[in-house]
Structure 1
Amino acid sequence: MALSLPLPVPQQQQTTTTNGEIQETDIFHQFDVVSDSSDHHYLDSNDSSRSKKTKDGGGDSFKNISSGVCKKIMQEWKILEKHLPDSIYVRVHENRIDLLRAVIIGVAGTPYHDGLYFFDIAFPPDYPARPPLVYYRSFGLRINPNLYANGRVCLSLLNTWPGRKSEKWDSSESTVLQVLVSIQALVLNEKPYYNEPGNGVLPGRAIWEKKSNAYSENVFFLSCKTMLFLLRRPPKNFEGFVAGHFREKASAILSACNAYINGQARVGYYRNDGSCSSGSSSTVDVSDKFKGLMGQLYPELLLGFMRNGASLGDFGEQSAMPIEIKTMSLKAKTVVQRKQSGFARTVFGKLKRVLGLKKKIKSGKSGVKKNGF
């Protein structure tokens, strides 16, 4: 039986050009309907050409989906359209209503701040008897105990992690919106180290906090790497959103990098006004490993933002790492010096060419006399 599905109509806003003409431009709504699903992780999971169930539980024919399931999916669309929080955006597909894609913006006060985290979601053919399938677009990076490098999302609400009955998927009440909000609040949180079962359960708060801080440092580093991957390969239907987001947030992200590397704020607690949201004004300890890794990544991140068209002001004049080498230990200096070789050196070269900086010529090696004559 053919179904007539009520699809939301994309809206436009009017802007005035320099010559006074009215021009209509597309608005990137929090919820919208799109047609291209070609890079969706679950594109083939419910395809009619696959009769066997996949490892994730898909594989049933989408063509055989019942009218009741279609009606339930339409209800989910309406809930998402009306109740999405400001930091979550969703795209659904007019030709494959069983698929949707969501992006969560990392919130302030967490090591995920200002990052973008994409999730591909599929409704199973017997939805809502089973929870939706959720895949995290990880680029091979594990940024959280609940988000695996292979894209697996462990969450009680998805029945992919043990939990109390009240935390499990309830076919009569649970929704995709609850899944997205749970990921944002419970997974991408202030101290993700404690998401791992067993962490912090034994006495010794100082030891656990030290490990938690180190874990958050690594999370921030991996989140910055994720930013670069997204700039190079943005998910379909979010290309403009990704570019615009990082043009707007580039300066704040680079400022946070500087603050974290130099111990001005604990990772996750930097504010755009330069203060520390944790309330502490004293210098915090930063691991040598984090300084070395960020020292290598920072120029690449800066270059990526510049190529994306970000207006960086003073950041655009930087050609060196934002690390005070004199304050670092000998071990850290060795790490940074090692990181500068190879790929990092290539990045510095590209950055200097972009900024118009010339390579310094050492005296005695260019035919110029030491005394300048």
Structure 2
Amino acid sequence: MDPDVVEIASPSTASGSRTWKNTKIRVRNVFRVSSKAFANGAVPMDLEDYAMFQAMLNSQDIPTDVEVVMTPDVVMVPSPPPSRPYKFDNADASSSSRPLVAPEVVSSAQAKFLRDFKRFHTVDDFSDHHYASQSNASKQHAKDWAKRVQSDWKILENDLPETIFVRACESRMDLLRAVIIGAEGTPYHDGLFFFDIKFSDTYPFAPPEVHYHAGGLSINPNLYECGHVCLSLLGTWDGDARESWIPNESTILQLLVSIQALILNQKPYFNEPGYETTEGTQEGEAQSETYSEEVFISSLKTMVYSMRKPLEHFEEFVRSHYFVRAHDIVKSCNAYKDGAPVGWMVQETSKSGSKRFRVDLGCYMKTVVDEFVKLGVKEL
């Protein structure tokens, strides 16, 4: 038996169409990822499967800072940070740290648009796509290639989380566009982050290409101002071989969730190579907080950039998103100006933001508010 594999006798109870047998659990260290979601080929397991597997793990002496992977038919993918999907009924407002959504926003045409906006849908044209001019639109791909791409489409249609939206093009099956909503508790909260994706001719034996619409702004060590995305899954980052693209297992859903969980995370400072060794130290955490403040300012600039130049097929989505969330964003900014640290609404803390951050934020808030007013937002 391999030294990093632990044999666990699992129950023989059947769950759905799958019967559990003795299963090897592979254990390895993981940096900066505190939670994982189990997936069967990147499709989330049902609750019975998860509960059964969790019961197996509870009886084992496994450290809390390791990743547990079930093989061969279950693949681990990172779960995204807690995010706030589009829900407007305020039913759980008493238990939430988020500001209440105003009644006029709940009943607005923009809120209705967001409720009806499909997470996955196909479009007719992608003329402004980053990769639109890099291959022949009339090129005929092999049947196996088309079948695999359509399989990815189906997974996205069925299993996208509530904070990721994707558009595919029927006339250009090699192109996708995705937008990820920044998660609460991160310096990216309430922002929209767009990615253009291209399937290569050899997909899935080679990972897709991904371009981030940065607008010339730096918001993360793994997202360059030019749009380059650094991620082991894409082969653009020298990570563990087991984190690389696996042709028969990796999916576009896994890629998007990885970007949300591993890149757009709570402490992006530690994404910089070598900086992870300072996580948990006084100096490292102080540098991380300063970096998150800078990232939040850049995230606000990204919001303005998106509102002024919304990408094709997401124009109304962008306008509606910021119309609905404008009051929350402004209230968060005011809280930060009063000294609250970035992400304070998710976790109580005695820390406070820096004076420089509060000054810079106050200077840029007028630009953000002006854009919200152009959308028709009132009483900011």
TM-score (norm 2): 0.68
Q: Which residue pairs with 1:35 in the alignment?
A: 124
| Alignment correspondent of 1:266 | 341
Distance (Å, rounded) in 2 between the aligned partners of 1:72 and 1:234: 30
* DSSP-derived class of the 2:260 partner: helix
Would the alpha carbon gap of residues 99 and 228 (structure 1) be closer, same or farther in structure 2, given more than 3 Å must change? same
Is the 2:131–2:198 contact (alpha carbons within 8 Å) kept by the matching residues of 1? yes
Q: 1:186 aligns with which of 262, 277, 295?
A: 262
- The Cα of 1:257 is off from its aligned counterpart by 0.5
Aligned residue for 2:165, secondary structure, equals: strand
The amino acid across from 1:40 in the alignment is H
Partner of 1:304: 371
How far has the Cα of 1:89 moved from its partner?
A: 0.2
- Equivalent AA in structure 1 for residue 269 of structure 2: Y
Helix, strand or coil at the partner of 1:211: helix
CA distance in 1, matches of 2:128, 2:275: 36
Deviation at 1:64, TM superposition (A): 4.1
* Higher normalized strand content (fraction of residues): 2
Q: Distance in 2 between matches of 1:203 and 1:172?
A: 35
Q: Aligned residue pairs: how many?
A: 268
Aligned to 2:305: 229
> Deviation of residue 223 (structure 1)?
0.4
Based on CA coordinates, which of the two structures has the bigger radius of gyration?
1
1:212-263 deviations in Å (ceiling 9; x for gaps): 0000001100000000011100000001100010000000000111111211
SS in 2 for 1:63: coil
**Is residue 92–residue 99 contact of structure 1 (8 Å, CA) maintained in 2?**
yes
Secondary structure of the residue aligned to 1:278 is coil
Q: Deviations over 1:132-169 (max 9, x none)?
A: 10000000011001101000000000111011121000
Q: For residue 25 of structure 1, report the CA deviation from its aligned partner.
A: 8.4
Runs of 5+ in structure 1 lacking a partner? 1-23, 49-61, 271-276, 316-373
Matched, 1:46 2:46: no
Query: Superposed, which structure 2 residues align to 1:316-355 within 5 Å?
Result: none
- For the residues of structure 2 that align with 1:25 and 1:293, how far apart are their CA atoms? 34
In the other structure, the counterpart of 1:123 is 199
CA contact under 8 A between 1:110 and 1:269: conserved in structure 2? no
In the aligned structure 2, how far is the partner of 1:88 from the partner of 1:201?
31
**Aligned-partner residue type, residue 292 of structure 1:** V
Query: Offset at 1:67?
Result: 1.5
Runs of 4+ in 1 over 4 A off after TM superposition: none
Shift of 1:90: 0.3
Cα 1:203–1:223 shift into 2, 3 Å:
closer
Shift of 1:293: 1.9
Supply the distance in 1 between the matched residues of 2:280 and 2:172 (Cα, whole angstroms): 51
Residue 275 of structure 2: SS of its match in structure 1? coil
State the partner residue of 1:289.
356
**How far is the alpha carbon of 1:269 from its aligned partner?**
2.3
After TM superposition, give the deviation of residue 197 of structure 1 in Å: 1.4
State the distance in 2 between where 1:44 and 1:307 align.
33
**Which residue number in structure 2 is paired with residue 364 of structure 1?**
none
Residues 1:203 and 1:190: Cα distance change in structure 2 (over 3 Å): closer
Q: 1:38 to 1:203 in 2, by over 3 A?
A: closer
Question: Which residue, out of 171, 180, 187, partners 1:104?
Answer: 180
Measured after TM superposition, the shift of residue 94 of structure 1 is 1.4
Measured after TM superposition, the shift of residue 199 of structure 1 is 1.0
Partner of 2:316: 240
Q: State the secondary structure of the residue aligned to 2:258.
A: helix
Asked whether the equivalents of residues 246 and 310 of structure 1 are also in contact (C-alpha less than 8 Å), the reply is no
Q: Which residue in 2 is equivalent to 1:278?
A: 347
Amino acid at match of 1:36: D
Q: Deviations over 1:280-308 (max 9, x none)?
A: 2x4x3332332232122101111110111
TM-score, scaled to structure 1? 0.69
Say whether the 8 Å CA contact 1:108–1:269 is kept in structure 2. Answer: no
Equivalence for 1:366:
none
Check 1:203–1:196 CA distance in 2 against 1; reply closer, same or farther (3 A cut).
closer
- Distance in 1, matches of 2:285 and 2:268, equals 11
Q: Which residue of 2 aligns with 1:169?
A: 245
RMSD: 1.8
In structure 1, the residue matched to 2:101 is: none
- Percent identity, aligned pairs only, is 47
CA distance in 2, matches of 1:205, 1:43: 45
Q: Which has the higher contact order (CA 8 A, sep 6+)?
A: 2
| Structure 1 residue 211 corresponds to structure 2 residue 287 | yes
Residue 204 of structure 1, CA deviation:
7.7
